[in-house]
Structure 1
Amino acid sequence: MVIKEREITRMPLRDYQKALVTSARNSLSKGNHNVLVQSPAGSGKTVTMAEIAKDATSKGNHVLFIVHRREIVDQVRQTFDKWGVDKKLCQIGMVQTITNRLEKIEAPKLILVDEAHHSLAKTYKRIFEKFEDANVIGFTATPVRLSGKGLKEVYDDLILGPEIQWLIDNHFLAPFNYYSVNLIDNEELKKSGTGDFTNKSIDNATKKMIYGDVINEYKRIADNTKTIVYTHNVAASVKVSEAFNKAGYSALQVDGKTVKEVRSKAMADFKSGKVKVLVNADLYGEGVDVPDCQTVIMLRPTESLSLFIQQSMRCMRFKPGKQATIIDHVANYTRFGLPNTPHKWTLKDREKKKKSTNTAVETPIKQCAFCFAVIPAQSKSCPLCGHEIEIVQTEIKVDEKARIEKIESNFKLQADYIVTKKISELKSYEELKAYAKARGYKQGWIYFQAKNKGLIKGAK
């Protein structure tokens, strides 16, 4: 018997990956047509999909694998080849390419979707409608959309993978230290009867602000580690890269318009250690595997939970003895928690709120109409595909004197704390204001409740 080289080099599936494959198969066998699998960033979704594709092609079934970024295509092809997927029966391509060639593609029995939280986009729907008889299995770390719309329109069932903390505890993801500006007074939350923030901390949390000196904090916290920096636009990425080089660090700037060869060389130099810092504008996000990254620096505030998880966890790919470092200069943790904060994933639409919570930063974000990437609204063109978009001006101020410190996992979000209370337990006008903000209630609700509680002078 001749054993192929690609079968020698591949690693066996982990137990939780096998469980996801089994659960997806069982769900389809129960009559669900389309199934969504959630599994954290860095948990090995590509090899899990490769196992499903191999099983399908070994039975003579055609498989269509769709991705939304060209950087991922070659990565997936290499993995599928190593895994023994019959590439004669498996087509791998970008969603835009597949959409333009629908009439030339042989009808698949199975469609696999990478980063499946994009599945509601029109291009994806066109593919699903064209091959309506095919089953769809989508994979994503974050089954949420910025709009709050759920994915139940496409998927019939949701399968949940392991929690991030479990993956850390079992050495499948690297442990991390998280550093940011402390906008939440943990001591007050523990001691205060209201558990409220100070007004100053709430005010600070609502500013478009970069806290702390980027270079000095890097020297202090993560000096000389392999680092990826996320900025809010191309101009900022160029400026930050220049600052790192001026400080004596080997840094390169890359973005969606950087030619492919230059980007490939930048990543190769990063992996070899020739370059210590890669500064980018929303380039190294979804699906890009960079196991050599030790540190992430976030200079880009976001309202997207998906974007936060993808970017913050880019340094958490496991290596023996590795300790990941996340330096959050824009206090994104105040909106989403830490990377290992549990989330309740669902296919349903998110409950609509009229206003953001106390800690929200109103950062202009939109989706590119062409490739559906989440991008800064002020961009002149999409940093991923180059598509021209409407310009929305915004400015992020810098407070270099702000103190960056380690954020412990026992901190508590203001909104999470206050909404757990009953209205009868709200004893002050400030508590009513905080509750109203967290719930999206109007000023009139605050006045009515305050009047009933006798908190307004002259009111009975």
Structure 2
Amino acid sequence: MYKLYDYQNEIIVKAQNKMINGAKSVLIVSPAGSGKSVIISEIARRATNKKGQILFFVHRKELIEQIKESFLYGGVNLDRCTIMTVGRVANKLGEIPKPSLIISDETHHSLAKTYRKIYKYYSDVPLLGFSATPWRLNGKGLGDVYDAMIEGPDVQWLIDNHYLAPFDYYSVNLIDESKLSKSSTGDYSNKSIDEAVGHTIYGDVIKTYRDKVDGQQAIVYAHSIAFSKQIAQQFRDAGINAAHCDSKTPQRERDKIMSDFKKGTLKVLSNVDLISEGYNVPDCSCVIMLRPTESLVLFIQQSMRCMRFKPGKQATIIDHVANYTRFGLPNTPHKWTLKDREKKKKSTNTTVDTPIKQCAFCFAVIPAQSKSCPLCGHEVEVVQSEIKVDETAHIEKIESNFRLQADYIVTKKISELKSYEELKAYAKARGYKQGWIYFQAKNKGLIKGAK
């Protein structure tokens, strides 16, 4: 049986208080690696001990197996639990025992029609939803599903108190000035910034792995299946045991790959968005990001996959596509809300490898033009197929000072900002575009080679 940490007990108490005070549905936000499955198990244990009936669902069957293991270890009475994927629950409404409490994990997917169908059918049943990243690419908030939201401790607190592994973050430090152009407002255009940063893989992937984390277990996130297979082969050619895995990999082969990686016999696992939410491998100490993304959910879920705590562990995140320039670092604070975000202009980039016909998370067949899976809610982010590789680029350590600057940086005048990191923190707090950072840094002489 689990022994909960104080912050995990506090989360449970806060959720109980919200429901005592009238909330029918509560969203619980807690960072990746903070032990959400432990909290869920304890809530289920308490409920089943009181003869309650639990309905638990999530979007992917691999996560179902993990929560069953957590429930067994946590002393939950499984006879009083229904544990299924969201798709199976939606197809069995009226056949499964009526729950007294619904628990939904990775609930940032909960705007999908299958989730909404379940919530509507059990509209009189209390709902607890869990997510590390309650954020949707389309800006839609979760306020249509949840009455209230509570937050656990932030990432930096969990690191400082030894609940998450500390990390080193490596990436490129400069935007490619030659590819930047100004818009009519005088700011650098989003399109030129995207071209400068968003579709280039910087640095030699194999050499950087050898230099920074040679011999450690690493998860590689690629932008396409073809490229993921290519990268896995490059690792093997260098004498490093590596494999590629995707949603179309035969089940038996996929299970073996996952098992070998968890056992440590496989050093490098390359994939496309498959190994992110809920995947728990404490011995994995490195993430290699070769996939540019505009999704904060993907960035957090993927970058933090190596930060599961283990005594003495130092995680390493190698960001070859400069995703940190969009989102900061894993310990950068975020203001979560149930409200919708302000809408941004739609991207004009529509280039894809092949028509999307299968959801990478629940494996459902979906229309090629779908922007999110109508069954499990996983967002299908379009990524440009042609990504250049610049093996000459210098990969260096990116200092983790976003968290410390976030609280006071907006009180400064622009003239008082002395470093590139301060400019980035200020821009993030103010909602300024990436081009503003570059323009100010250039004027302050912080960009090497700028006149």
Residues 131-210 of structure 1 correspond to what in structure 2 (within 5 A)?
A: 131-183=122-174, 202=193, 205-210=196-201
User: How many percent identity over aligned positions?
Assistant: 57
Match of 2:103 among 89, 103, 112: 112
Q: Which has the larger radius of gyration?
A: 1
For residues 167 and 364 of structure 1, do their structure 2 counterparts lie closer, same or farther at Cα, with a shift above 3 Å needed? farther
Does residue 394 (structure 1) correspond to residue 372 (structure 2)? The answer is: no
Does residue 304 (structure 1) correspond to residue 295 (structure 2)? The answer is: yes
Question: How far does the alpha carbon of each residue in 1:173-219 deviate from its partner, in whole angstroms, 9 at most, with x for none?
Answer: 0000000011269xxxxxxxxxx99x9x9576444111111111111
Tell me the residue number matched to 1:94.
85
Segments of structure 1 that go 5 or more residues without pairing to the other structure are 1-9, 186-195, 357-361, 367-375, 426-430, 441-460
Match of 1:259 among 223, 247, 250: 250
Residues 403-442 of structure 1 correspond to what in structure 2 (within 5 A)?
A: 403-410=394-401
Q: CA deviation at 1:11?
A: 2.7
1:353–1:439 CA contact under 8 A, matched in 2: no
1:302–1:365 CA contact under 8 A, matched in 2: no
For residue 60 of structure 1, what is the amino acid of its counterpart? K
CA distance in 1, matches of 2:395, 2:106: 32
CA distance in 1, matches of 2:414, 2:323: 28
For residue 63 of structure 1, what is the amino acid of its counterpart? I
Q: CA deviation at 1:283?
A: 1.1
Does residue 381 (structure 1) correspond to residue 381 (structure 2)? The answer is: no
For residues 140 and 60 of structure 1, do their structure 2 counterparts lie closer, same or farther at Cα, with a shift above 3 Å needed? same
Q: CA deviation at 1:378?
A: 5.8
Equivalent position SS for 2:322: coil
CA distance in 1, matches of 2:399, 2:71: 39
Tell me the residue number matched to 1:28.
19
2:236–2:242 CA contact under 8 A, matched in 1: yes
Once structures 1 and 2 are overlaid, which stretch shifts more, 260-269 or 146-155? 260-269
Equivalent position SS for 1:52: helix
CA distance in 1, matches of 2:152, 2:314: 23
For residue 217 of structure 1, what is the amino acid of its counterpart? T
Tell me the residue number matched to 1:48.
39
Match of 2:239 among 233, 245, 248: 248
CA distance in 2, matches of 1:78, 1:225: 26
1:61–1:108 CA contact under 8 A, matched in 2: yes
Match of 2:94 among 87, 98, 103: 103
Tell me the residue number matched to 1:448.
none
Match of 2:115 among 117, 124, 129: 124
For residues 96 and 386 of structure 1, do their structure 2 counterparts lie closer, same or farther at Cα, with a shift above 3 Å needed? closer
TM-score by length of 1: 0.79
1:183–1:205 CA contact under 8 A, matched in 2: no
Once structures 1 and 2 are overlaid, which stretch shifts more, 264-273 or 329-338? 264-273
Question: How far does the alpha carbon of each residue in 1:229-271 deviate from its partner, in whole angstroms, 9 at most, with x for none?
Answer: 0111211111000000001100011111222322222122223
CA distance in 1, matches of 2:265, 2:211: 21
Question: How far does the alpha carbon of each residue in 1:267-317 deviate from its partner, in whole angstroms, 9 at most, with x for none?
Answer: 222233321111111111101111111100000111110110000000000
Segments of structure 2 that go 5 or more residues without pairing to the other structure are 177-186, 370-381, 417-422, 434-451
Question: How far does the alpha carbon of each residue in 1:78-127 deviate from its partner, in whole angstroms, 9 at most, with x for none?
Answer: 11111121111110000011111112122211100000111111100100
For residue 157 of structure 2, what is the amino acid of its counterpart? W
For residues 166 and 184 of structure 1, do their structure 2 counterparts lie closer, same or farther at Cα, with a shift above 3 Å needed? farther
Q: CA deviation at 1:224?
A: 1.1
For residues 177 and 123 of structure 1, do their structure 2 counterparts lie closer, same or farther at Cα, with a shift above 3 Å needed? same
Aligned CA RMSD, in angstroms, stands at 3.4
TM-score by length of 2: 0.81
Equivalent position SS for 1:103: coil
CA distance in 1, matches of 2:351, 2:83: 30
CA distance in 2, matches of 1:56, 1:280: 38
